[in-house]
């Protein structure tokens, strides 16, 4: 593995340093994109008066609602809010593993700048398109292909790490 | 970006090293706080005999329950257990992105120790208060403000990274 | 903490470098294991024609289904698909915190190679067994013990970091 070629492991090579500078920006961008979904859920909940716990109705809901109305509304689901929540969960399931795999891929497999940046840009583009496809929504297989491309970028890096790895 | 000013990228500055030592402790603390919620869900499930899959009833539940009773109970939900699970998911959606954004913020934007530690402490305090506000529960907007403050700490770091970033 | 004993913080020791090389492989492996669950959910959904949003029925489902049939099927849940989704969420709640805690544990507590690799191997074995126990399923307390062992490996590292930490 890469670090073995150095003297005692320390430090990043210039190539790794260059890759990490671009990587850092994409990490921040993808995390912002993901966190925006939280605010989208909150604004939809307030606009529609559709909450999931009692104190939210008391704090943000219609003050005229009876306990029985609150109970019924809490048990119901708004389809579009559930859609945003699914989109958010899908981001968690895909973007977080990408970030962690990319870090070990950059540090331990000595990729070229081109190869690493390509993986990162393809993943970022695929996930931004995935969010658009989920929230509009676009007809399938748009969302599926966006998931697939992002997922394959991560899997490609993970397999490279395992292939060069030790257990 | 910060690393460009070094000779070939390698190594941490003394300031970064100092920040990371405090950061490490908060990461461990916030992860522990988050994982405790798993144990809280498990203990509530066992106390209330409210599980979600058949083998849990067979292993931990009342051995007298009929298949029909298990089927009905599996389909039902306990409001407080769902509340803890929502709290846990909210932690996942907020604490993990914070940790990843904070790492690239510390490594690539050369923050002062004061500024970095302030972001970290505000975030940690906000998330601990968020858990208290969700589980007691405290009246709104306590939980919303806790979410907002923690979220803004992460967004502030992410925007700084993107502002200094390259794509 | 470890880094304080170095000159100005920079670089990894040879021991840390050796640990990280093994760690990298396990991170890639555990992320792959987790991501495979996404594909398992997708294949089950397509095989059973059980989707959660309208465009999935239009793109992948039976083209003869009426809007009313789609509405009813969207509201229903397949028990085995929900099981895989729970398994996936449990991985998110456990594997991601493990990775983040392990990084700060290796960097800031100066563990021996044996101790660090032991934590990592125990965790990986426990989580792979957890997935098997959830999906077959095996009778309880198999799944609970797998969760417990993995969780204790993470908690053991987190407590070590906090014990040596500064706030």
Please name the residue of chain A whose CA is at the shortest distance from the CA of residue B151. Answer: A35
The interface pTM score, or ipTM, of the predicted complex is: 0.89
Helix runs in A13-78, H state only: 14-48, 54-60, 67-75
Mean pLDDT of C81-108: 95
Q: What is the mean pLDDT of chain B?
A: 89
Mean pLDDT of A37-44: 96
Q: Is the pLDDT of residue C4 over 50?
A: no
Decide if C35 and A4 are in contact by the 8 Å CB cutoff.
Answer: no
Provide the pLDDT for residue C167: 67
CA distance C118 to C124: 10
Read off the pLDDT band of B18 (50, 70, 90).
Answer: confident
Read off the pLDDT band of A147 (50, 70, 90).
Answer: very high
What six digits make up the tokens of B21? 């030592």
Enumerate residues 6+ apart whose C-beta is below 8 A from C115. Answer: none
Residue pair B96/C100 in contact by the 8 Å Cβ criterion: yes
Q: Is the pLDDT of residue B8 over 50?
A: no
> Within a 10 A sphere around the Cβ of C130, how many other Cβ atoms?
26
Decide if B28 and C154 are in contact by the 8 Å CB cutoff.
Answer: no
Q: What is the CA radius of gyration of chain B?
A: 21
Decide if C162 and B53 are in contact by the 8 Å CB cutoff.
Answer: no
- Shortest CA distance to A42 belongs to which of A54, A18, A60, A27? A60
Set of chain A residues whose Cβ sits within 8 Å of the Cβ of C52: 82, 86
CA distance A77 to B7: 56
Phi, psi of C65 (to 5 degrees): -65, 135
> Within a 10 A sphere around the Cβ of A78, how many other Cβ atoms?
15
Provide the pLDDT for residue B75: 82
Read off the pLDDT band of A71 (50, 70, 90).
Answer: confident
Decide if C151 and B38 are in contact by the 8 Å CB cutoff.
Answer: yes
- Compare CB distances from B56 to C4, C101, C140 and report the shortest one's residue: C140
Enumerate residues 6+ apart whose C-beta is below 8 A from C61. Answer: C49, C51, C70
Read off the pLDDT band of B167 (50, 70, 90).
Answer: low
Provide the pLDDT for residue A167: 67
Q: Please write the tens of the pLDDT for every residue from A81-136.
A: 999 999 999 999 999 999 999 999 999 898 999 999 999 999 999 999 999 999 99
Provide the pLDDT for residue A128: 97
CA distance C167 to C161: 11
Provide the pLDDT for residue C140: 87
Percent of chain B with pLDDT over 70: 93
* Distance from the A111 Cα atom to the nearest Cα atom in chain C, whole angstroms: 15
* Angle in degrees, CA B148, B152, B154, rounded to 5: 125
Read off the pLDDT band of C15 (50, 70, 90).
Answer: confident
Q: Is the pLDDT of residue C7 over 60?
A: no
Q: Is the pLDDT of residue A7 over 50?
A: no
Q: What is the mean pLDDT of chain A?
A: 89
What six digits make up the tokens of B98? 């914070």
- Shortest CA distance to B78 belongs to which of C94, A75, A102, A55? A75
Provide the pLDDT for residue B94: 97
Q: Please write the tens of the pLDDT for every residue from C114-162.
A: 999 999 999 999 999 999 999 999 998 999 999 999 999 999 999 999 9
Residue pair C56/A134 in contact by the 8 Å Cβ criterion: no
Set of chain C residues whose Cβ sits within 8 Å of the Cβ of A31: none
CA distance B33 to B35: 6
Q: Is the pLDDT of residue A165 over 90?
A: no
Q: Is the pLDDT of residue C10 over 90?
A: no
Provide the pLDDT for residue A83: 95
If one compares B1 and B146, the residue with the highest pLDDT of the two is B146
CA distance A108 to A162: 10
Phi, psi of C127 (to 5 degrees): -75, -35
CA distance B127 to B54: 34
Provide the pLDDT for residue A5: 38
What six digits make up the tokens of C64? 């003869």
DSSP C101-159: HHHHHHHHS---HHHHHHHHHHHHHHHHHHHHHHHTTPPTTHHHHHHHHHHHHHHHHHH
Max Cα–Cα distance, chain C, nearest Å: 71
Decide if A100 and C25 are in contact by the 8 Å CB cutoff.
Answer: no
B contact set with A (CB within 8 A): 1, 3-4, 6, 8-11, 82-83, 86, 92-94, 96-97, 100-101, 104-105, 107-108, 137-141, 143-144, 147, 151, 154-155, 157-159, 161-162, 165-167
Cis geometry, peptide bond prior to residue B141 (ω within 30 degrees of 0) = yes
């Amino acid at each position: 593995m890469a670090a073995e070629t150095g003297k005692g492991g320390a430090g990043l090579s210039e190539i790794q340093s260059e890759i990490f500078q671009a990587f850092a920006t994409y990490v921040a961008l993808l995390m912002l994109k993901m966190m925006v979904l939280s605010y989208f859920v909150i604004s939809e909940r307030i606009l529609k008066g559709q909450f999931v716990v009692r104190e939210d109705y008391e704090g943000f809901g219609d003050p005229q609602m009876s306990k029985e109305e609150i109970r019924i509304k809490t048990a119901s689901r708004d389809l579009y809010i559930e859609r945003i929540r699914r989109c958010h969960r899908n981001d968690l399931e895909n973007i977080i593993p990408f970030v962690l795999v990319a870090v070990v891929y950059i540090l331990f497999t000595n990729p070229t700048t081109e190869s690493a940046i390509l993986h990162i840009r393809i993943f970022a583009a695929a996930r931004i398109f995935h969010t658009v496809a989920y929230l509009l929504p676009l007809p399938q297989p748009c969302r599926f292909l966006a998931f697939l491309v992002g997922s394959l970028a991560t899997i490609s890096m993970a397999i490279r790490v395992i292939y060069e790895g030790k257990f």
